[in-house]
A and B are shown apart, each in its own frame.
Chain A
Amino acid sequence: MTWRSPLAVVRDALRGQRARDKDLRNLVSNLPYEGLDKAKQPNRYFPSNAIKTTKYTLLLFIPMNLYEQFHRWANIYFVGLAILNFVPVVNAFQPEVALIPICVILSLTALKDAWEDFRRYQSDRKLNNTPCFIYSRKEKQYIDRRWKDVRVGDFVKVLCNEIIPADLLLMHTSDPNGVCHIETANLDGETNLKQRKVVPGLCNSDSEFDPESFSGIVVCEKPNNNLNHFKCYVEKPDKEKVGAGIESLLLRGCTVRNTDHAVGFVVYAGHETKSMLNNNGPRYKRSKLERKLNTDVIFCVILLLSMCLVGAVGHFLWLQALPGVPPYLVPDSNGHLDSPSLSGFYMFFTMIILLQVLIPISLYVSIELVKIGQIFFITNDIDLYDEETDSRMQCKALNITEDLGQIEYIFSDKTGTLTENKMVFRRCSIMGTEYPHKENAVRLAVLDEPETEEEVIFNQRPRPPQTGWSLNAEDTIPEDRQHRHGSRRKSKVSGNAQSDVAFSSPLETEVIPDRKLLQQISRPECSGGASRQTDPYLDFFLALAICNTVMVSMATAQRRRVSWFSRSCQTNTPLDTVSNLVKKAGSLRHIFTSWQRKPKQNRTLSEDSVIEEDHFNPPVKTEGTGDTNGLQTCTLHALSRYNRPAATSDNLSYEAESPDEAALVHAAKAYGFILLGRTPDSVTVRLPSGEELVFEVLDTLAFDSNRKRMSVLVRHPITREYVLYTKGADYAIMELLGTPYAEHLSGSQKNIAADTQHHLDCYAKEGLRTLCFTKKVVSDKAYESWLVNRKSALAAIDNREELIMDSAVQLETNLSLLGATGIEDRLQESVPDTIVALREAGIQVWVLTGDKPETAVNIGYACRLLEEEDLVINMSCENKLTCTSILDCTLEEVRRYSQDPRNVDTTPDISLVIDGRTLTMALSSDLQDRFVELARRCRSVLCCRVTPLQKSRVVKAIREKLKVMTLAVGDGANDVNMIQAADIGVGISGQEGMQAVMASDFAISRFKHLKKLLLVHGHWCYTRLANMIIYFFYKNVAYVNLLFWYQFFCGFSGTAMIDYWLMIFFNLFFTSVPPIMFGIMDKDVSAEMLLGVPELYRTGRGAGEYKRSTFWVSMLDAFYQSLVCFFIPYLAYQDSDIDVFTFGTPLNTISLFTILLHLSIEIKAWTVVHWLTMLGSVAVFFIVTLAYSATCITCNPPSNPYWILQSQMADPMFYLICIITTVVALLPRYMFHVLRNSIAPSPLMQARHLDRLDPYSRDQWIKEWRSFRGGGCVKRSRLSTPPSPTLETPADIYPQSSTTSDIMGDEFTLNVITENSQRPRHTRNNDSLAT
């Protein structure tokens, strides 16, 4: 290293700073500069790829850690006290001893921090030393280096299945199309492959990429943490700019898949990579209890100060009252005595030292220990374990467990949270004709209700086809069966392993085509190819297959996590060839669907050979069995016909970013339109005829939440037309419709849009998710002109998103409607049950969804958020004025309604449905109060069409206005805002990646887990911690007060009658373990009771156990007990020759017993651990004290504990005093408990009584009690009742009029809807409000 002047170094550093701070960075290749010293490197200002996540360095550990620890005010307080000990005037006996507790606590924390830091250091080192390939000019090849050697400007080669070392701009891949697949599971948990493209135009992919030839400048933005966004362009030597975005960026931490190798240019390294910038530490939240606790600590401080004041004043008065100078007053070295007032002043500080234990130093440490223990139990709960995903409950926030017991409002996402987010294709409407897919519904019903075995069994021998269109495929069946079986087996595997392919449970993948529709599509096909290009059915299915971003991967190229369950024995059985294995989604039950009509035989066989398949013969909802069966056969035959030429198609597996897309592709596949492959430039689709079409993909206009649609622009391989397929939300599409499709079709052309809209409304009412499909043929000229715009938009750095969106909007006009689909999102297991239980627990449940109101309301009924007899208020308005008036009169109505005496006992609950636009207005600052007031009176609220931001605003508004504890639960990226806004955020690790989980405090895998998490763990954690904290305060006050009372008998001189070491031990060892164990393990009511009677949750809410009054009552009790513990021995030893420490020893023993027995009154359930800690504490006390008094002869002046306990224990009086004092001290509390439990037992108490019954009679009791309350047994009501065959069924739960007026009307309407005709009054309300 050559010497450089410091000035140069400074200059360099400044320049580096500037370079880093610039908005845009210019990066060049390092290769021309290879071998030059560092000062000449162009990219020297950017950090290297070595990372350091450790907080401390070896040398600075102690000061830095201490600095960090002193951010806690409690620690400062304790250190301040310790320092006070060293001030001479306070006359502390042994200042050094006072340091022990704080040192123990500080060093324990430091040890923990050091250990964590060491772990980080190790993982850093491992990461930094991971090998990678960097191109070297000298060697003319990629040489093996380490991650830490990677610098910005290097060329790095990544092989398949390797982890990417830094953020790389993709330059070259082994793929001829310049595509590289990456898996981002390490980053966001999403397991589907993402596709990255080489920056276009930099090199030709045919030849091997030569890094040395790269001479452009990469201009990119400053590093940021947005994982889905990146802006950059490459300026070639000829000044041509090539834009590149996130689609060309390989992110550090991702894994390269399905690509042999890829070469990238390092744009960000080390801490500037997106993954590192996203890597935030754990979140720190303060629980409500802890906030309250802090105020109580302040009370304790006040108490301490006033006690010290009493001591100081008492000392002053005592000195004042002395007539002369007694021999026991010790003058200073000059023989002078301080004036009484000065002595009193000093005494104040002495008292602080003496009574400092009043502020529980160990409380904070104990709370942390307790929380660790509680989290251990929560995460180990087997009921919160999900077998399917093999995931436990995760606690991300370590310090808010007790808040789980305090929740008053739950805000839930719908999709993926209440529902499984497993999309099932249910219905479609093409060109205004509805195809209900009855057979598919039957199949789903079968999947859904495997329990009811006694019903008619769905075992059907293949019959000759009843309809003429299908080939008799008797000879093809075995082959076909094999295929089907194979695919099913595969999907079962994927369902089990969960991690391999997203969205591919059999539920989703298998669609049974509608017979009518099949006939429709087969007809034109038979009629010849001429009409094919304009056939709407063909276009519809092409749109289904093409208009998406679904990736196709061959089963042979399965990713590593796919675990093929080898079940060779099973496959070989004859049974297997005749049976279809269908896995029921959401549970582990597998169903065999056999074709053969040999139920008995099958059954026995299956039971012998297959272990887990209990439900061998699935039942079927049999409306018209014969028909169904016939259809089924037809279907299968049809399929077989399609499948035959496409034997390989079963090996396809689709990887979609959203489950809807996968469902649609699978639906298209069922009709024979099979998506075979997708590259950035082309899509291959096989038609039912077996013909394979390769569409050139000209552009993909990706989905965004503003447009609410996506489009794919392809070039038709036959007609060479530019065709734009668009799919999107109905309201986003309907506005853009232009010419109706193919006017030349039959003259009976109806208004397709209106019909489709009608179908869409019906779908929505059924709770289906709707999508519209359109087609547009773009003329060559229009395309050319559009392309120019598009290119400039893509290359732009500023406003790029806007420009891209504008260009998309530009093209998506004048669309022709093809049809619409209805996709079902099925409710998760036990969702209604959970919601009912949560509501019984007194928690208000809100559902915030982006769906349409109709869909949301329907789901609301299905999950029992809304009940049939509920009064549903629907708010939807266009402008603020109407919104205000609606709010006002609804509020008035609701108030009147709830005050109405007639409603006292019959009160149906009020529910509110509000849409996003109205919500925005209602949440504006002037209406917020009224809205919150209204919402408060509603039992449940459903917010539809809300954006992520609105979700968090709702949560914030409720949380702040009503001052309630809120919990938000969601599974997707759109719930992150809400999850972060709530007091507790719960993430569901579902199908949509891990963003929600990352942002959450607790992560669960199923919505139903929320029930046990809140009702049981929440309740336990809260009561345990609350009781422990109260106990801790009590314990310290009770003990310290002994010293305080003694001050009245020693002239307020600050004497302690207990040996100092024993005092410290008392808190540190003798009485610390039982309360911690109490906080971790005590169980007031059993889990079964808490789950059976959710009302018990209410007891913990609000203030629950930890009320201010409870705190003061236990303070008073502490005072009383300390009085007893002091004065009974005092009176007993009065006028005797007892000496100071002999007097203190029984006091210490008594308070040990009192404090421990006090705890044992509070302990609700004694397990072995309880006994061990309790008896252990007593044993430790005696052993330590005896050992200490036997060995300490002159060790601890001025106290002389030598042999004191021994001599006391030889004295019967000691025992007699201990017994009576303990009994008297605990009698009031004991009596209070006894009387309360006998006279007015709390609900918890009653529950505990029930707990003692045997399980059977307890369940009986709960059942009786439930039915008495009219709750009834919660049945699992499903959304997936087979839909009625036609859509003509009146939507009786949601009057048609209101629907249309809500959606379409520009006038506001307010509907107070009731379903029950028995309540005509509501209808009147409705009228009065509507007019």
Chain B
Amino acid sequence: MVKQEKASANRPDNTAFTQQRLPAWQPMLSAGIVIPGFVLIGLAFIGIGVALFVTSRGIQVLEIDYTGVEQNSPCFPCTDQNRKNCVCDVNFSIDTLFQGPVFFYYGLSNYFQNYRKYGVSKDDYQLSGDLSYFKAPSSTCSPYEYDKNNKPIVPCGSVANSMFNDTFKLFQIVNGAKKQVSLDGKGIAWWTDYNIKYRNPSVTPLKNAFNGTVKPLFWSKPAYELDLSDPANNGFINQDFLVWMRRAALPNFRKLYRRITDGDYAQGLPAGNYTLEVSYNYPVLSFGGRKKVVFSNVSWMGGKNEFLGIAYLVIGSMCVFMSIVMLIVYAKFKFPEED
């Protein structure tokens, strides 16, 4: 017997694997199996689509363009480059209660925060509070690395430099008087940005960390004085700064500015007339950009977007339709296996 085994030492293993006989599931893409599947998928999609659509319908959005392109628009005077600290009032009215919590966005159009070189132009190490990068920012920040006097710019780079600096105040006109709507600026940035990614240097007062550096050219205030009202909201963990630093994916974008969550307006903005006091600083007309403010409430699916619901509905009904077509095909051609 030993000899026998030896004689067939070369014999391949007769296993299912080596002989390619592993049990296999062979799905057949023929109409018979597909029709019920399609009907099920179609119905499920229609269900999701209806839910999405209804939800999306329930979301209220109010968009106001305040760029001031037209002569008669309230912010038109502010488009003059020479005017400093221009303030314009934009009036609008709400017909029905704007369900709270209301999110207050600013939006920019034709603004390419995703521009390649722009995106590179920041120094993550500096922004994470590393003091050595305060003195010598990364070369990626060029040309917003050093100012003319060769002093390092903190925060350096194009992204920080171009930070949106319009500010808004919202008033409800109650009986002719302006009643300020309190805006909540806390927690509008990503939790991870605020707590992990971006860090101020652990120097108190914060101002000392910035000794020997200059503020970005475009900025009117240094980074440690971005929010005078709340000392904790300064430096690199300033919420507005964080929101800006998270670059928008598309050239028409909105960014969260404030939330209206407390006080009288916790339930939303009641119907009535409102005035938005815009401190108009950010120039966009030079490159054909637009600025707007957006009020919106959100649901589980985020902001208002009817597309997804419609897409689900369309695809769902297409699936159902196709299963009908296939049923006809089935009737006409029969199934090959039934021949």
Q: Which residues of A contact B (CB under 8 A)?
A: 91, 93, 322-335, 350, 377, 379-382, 385, 387, 390-392, 496-497, 563, 565, 1020, 1049-1051, 1053-1055, 1057, 1081, 1083, 1087, 1128, 1130-1140, 1142-1144, 1161, 1164-1170, 1193-1194, 1197-1198, 1200, 1202-1203, 1207, 1211-1213, 1216-1217, 1220, 1223-1224, 1227, 1230-1231, 1233-1235, 1237-1239, 1241, 1245-1246, 1248-1249, 1251-1252
Most buried by B among A350, A1136, A1251: A1136
Q: Complex: how many Å from CA A1191 to CA B123?
A: 19
Least CB distance from A728 to B in Å reads 39
Q: Complex: how many Å from CA A533 to CA B20?
A: 67
Q: Complex: how many Å from CA A1130 to CA B311?
A: 13
Q: Complex: how many Å from CA A449 to CA B46?
A: 70
Judging by beta carbons under 8 Å apart, are B287 and A1230 in contact? no
Q: Mark B141-181, 1 if CB is under 8 A from A, else 0.
A: 01101000000000000100110000000000000000000
Interface residue B228 (Cβ < 8 Å from any Cβ of A) = no
| 24 examples of A-B residue contacts, CB within 8 angstroms | A325-B287, A327-B162, A328-B118, A329-B117, A330-B158, A380-B12, A390-B11, A1020-B20, A1050-B115, A1053-B112, A1132-B305, A1133-B305, A1135-B107, A1136-B302, A1136-B303, A1140-B249, A1167-B22, A1194-B125, A1197-B122, A1198-B140, A1220-B45, A1227-B318, A1237-B336, A1252-B337
Residues of B within 8 A of A1081 (CB): 20
Question: Are A1237 and B24 also in contact (CB < 8 A) when A380-B12, A392-B10 are?
Answer: no
Residues of A within 8 A of B122 (CB): 1197-1198
Residues of A within 8 A of B140 (CB): 1197-1198
Q: Complex: how many Å from CA A62 to CA B305?
A: 58
Residue of B nearest to A1238 (CB): B31
Given A327-B218, A1137-B303, A1139-B248, 4 more A-B residue pairs with CB atoms under 8 Å apart are A322-B287, A563-B3, A1135-B252, A1166-B25
Judging by beta carbons under 8 Å apart, are B322 and A1231 in contact? yes
Residue of A nearest to B22 (CB): A1167
Interface residue B43 (Cβ < 8 Å from any Cβ of A) = no
Q: Which residues of B contact A (CB under 8 A)?
A: 3, 6-14, 18-20, 22-31, 34, 41, 45, 48, 52, 105, 107, 111-125, 128, 140, 142-143, 145, 158, 161-162, 190, 192, 196-197, 218, 246-256, 286-289, 300-303, 305, 307-308, 311-312, 315, 318, 322, 326, 329-330, 333, 335-337
Judging by beta carbons under 8 Å apart, are B26 and A1139 in contact? no
Judging by beta carbons under 8 Å apart, are B3 and A1167 in contact? no
Residues of A within 8 A of B162 (CB): 327-328
Q: Complex: how many Å from CA A1203 to CA B250?
A: 20
Residues of B within 8 A of A1139 (CB): 246-249
Least CB distance from A1257 to B in Å reads 11
Option from A325, A382, A1194, A1237 in Cβ contact (under 8 Å) with B29: A1237
Judging by beta carbons under 8 Å apart, are A1224 and B12 in contact? no
Q: Complex: how many Å from CA A1217 to CA B315?
A: 13
Residue of A nearest to B284 (CB): A326
Residues of A within 8 A of B249 (CB): 1049, 1057, 1133, 1138-1140, 1142-1144
Judging by beta carbons under 8 Å apart, are B24 and A1230 in contact? no
Most buried by A among B41, B105, B124, B251: B124
Option from B120, B308, B312 in Cβ contact (under 8 Å) with A91: B120
Judging by beta carbons under 8 Å apart, are B116 and A1249 in contact? no
Residue of A nearest to B248 (CB): A1139
Judging by beta carbons under 8 Å apart, are A1140 and B25 in contact? no
Judging by beta carbons under 8 Å apart, are B158 and A328 in contact? yes
Residues of A within 8 A of B161 (CB): 327
Judging by beta carbons under 8 Å apart, are A1234 and B34 in contact? yes
Judging by beta carbons under 8 Å apart, are B143 and A1249 in contact? no
Least CB distance from A1264 to B in Å reads 12
Residues of B within 8 A of A1087 (CB): 20
Residue of B nearest to A393 (CB): B12
Judging by beta carbons under 8 Å apart, are B250 and A1238 in contact? no
Q: Complex: how many Å from CA A326 to CA B311?
A: 35
Judging by beta carbons under 8 Å apart, are A379 and B22 in contact? no
Judging by beta carbons under 8 Å apart, are B26 and A1166 in contact? yes
Judging by beta carbons under 8 Å apart, are A1167 and B24 in contact? yes
Least CB distance from B313 to A in Å reads 11
Residues of A within 8 A of B251 (CB): 1049-1051
Least CB distance from B259 to A in Å reads 13
Question: Are A326 and B289 also in contact (CB < 8 A) when A91-B116, A1136-B254, A1237-B30 are?
Answer: yes
Residues of A within 8 A of B335 (CB): 1238
Question: Are A1165 and B24 also in contact (CB < 8 A) when A1134-B250, A1142-B249 are?
Answer: yes
Q: Which 10 A-B pairs have the closest CB atoms?
A: A324-B286, A326-B287, A1143-B249, A1165-B24, A327-B162, A1053-B116, A1167-B22, A1050-B114, A380-B12, A380-B18
Question: Are A1200 and B286 also in contact (CB < 8 A) when A1137-B253, A1139-B247, A1207-B190 are?
Answer: no
Q: Complex: how many Å from CA A333 to CA B144?
A: 8
Question: Are A390 and B10 also in contact (CB < 8 A) when A327-B218, A1220-B311, A1234-B29 are?
Answer: yes
Residue of B nearest to A1229 (CB): B29
Q: Complex: how many Å from CA A1224 to CA B311?
A: 10
Least CB distance from B18 to A in Å reads 4
Residues of A within 8 A of B6 (CB): 563
Least CB distance from A260 to B in Å reads 29
Residue of B nearest to A1050 (CB): B114
Judging by beta carbons under 8 Å apart, are B287 and A324 in contact? yes
Q: Complex: how many Å from CA A1167 to CA B18?
A: 13
Residues of B within 8 A of A350 (CB): 116
Judging by beta carbons under 8 Å apart, are B329 and A1164 in contact? no
Residues of A within 8 A of B336 (CB): 1237-1238, 1241, 1245-1246, 1249
Residues of B within 8 A of A1131 (CB): 307-308, 311
Residues of A within 8 A of B192 (CB): 1202-1203, 1207
Q: Complex: how many Å from CA A91 to CA B13?
A: 55
Q: Complex: how many Å from CA A1246 to CA B30?
A: 11
Judging by beta carbons under 8 Å apart, are A1049 and B301 in contact? no
Q: Complex: how many Å from CA A1128 to CA B307?
A: 9
Residues of A within 8 A of B29 (CB): 1161, 1230, 1233-1234, 1237
Option from A322, A1140, A1216 in Cβ contact (under 8 Å) with B52: A1216
Residues of A within 8 A of B3 (CB): 563, 565
Judging by beta carbons under 8 Å apart, are A1198 and B25 in contact? no
Question: Are A1238 and B125 also in contact (CB < 8 A) when A381-B12, A1166-B25, A1167-B23 are?
Answer: no
Q: Complex: how many Å from CA A1239 to CA B330?
A: 9
Most buried by B among A1050, A1128, A1135, A1239: A1135
Q: Complex: how many Å from CA A295 to CA B123?
A: 45
Residues of B within 8 A of A1167 (CB): 22-25
Judging by beta carbons under 8 Å apart, are B20 and A1249 in contact? no
Question: Are A1054 and B116 also in contact (CB < 8 A) when A334-B143, A1233-B29 are?
Answer: yes
Residue of A nearest to B51 (CB): A1216
Judging by beta carbons under 8 Å apart, are A1057 and B114 in contact? yes
Q: Complex: how many Å from CA A1062 to CA B315?
A: 30
Q: Complex: how many Å from CA A330 to CA B336?
A: 64
Residue of A nearest to B247 (CB): A1140
Judging by beta carbons under 8 Å apart, are A1168 and B22 in contact? yes
Residues of B within 8 A of A1168 (CB): 22
Question: Are A1055 and B158 also in contact (CB < 8 A) when A93-B120, A325-B287, A1194-B124 are?
Answer: no
Question: Are A1198 and B120 also in contact (CB < 8 A) when A377-B20, A1137-B105 are?
Answer: yes
Judging by beta carbons under 8 Å apart, are B24 and A1083 in contact? yes
Residues of B within 8 A of A380 (CB): 12-13, 18-19
Residues of A within 8 A of B248 (CB): 1137-1140
Least CB distance from B106 to A in Å reads 10
Residues of B within 8 A of A1165 (CB): 24-26
Q: Complex: how many Å from CA A563 to CA B3?
A: 8
Residue of B nearest to A1057 (CB): B249
Q: Complex: how many Å from CA A1161 to CA B190?
A: 39
Option from B11, B114, B256 in Cβ contact (under 8 Å) with A1055: B114
Judging by beta carbons under 8 Å apart, are A1238 and B333 in contact? yes
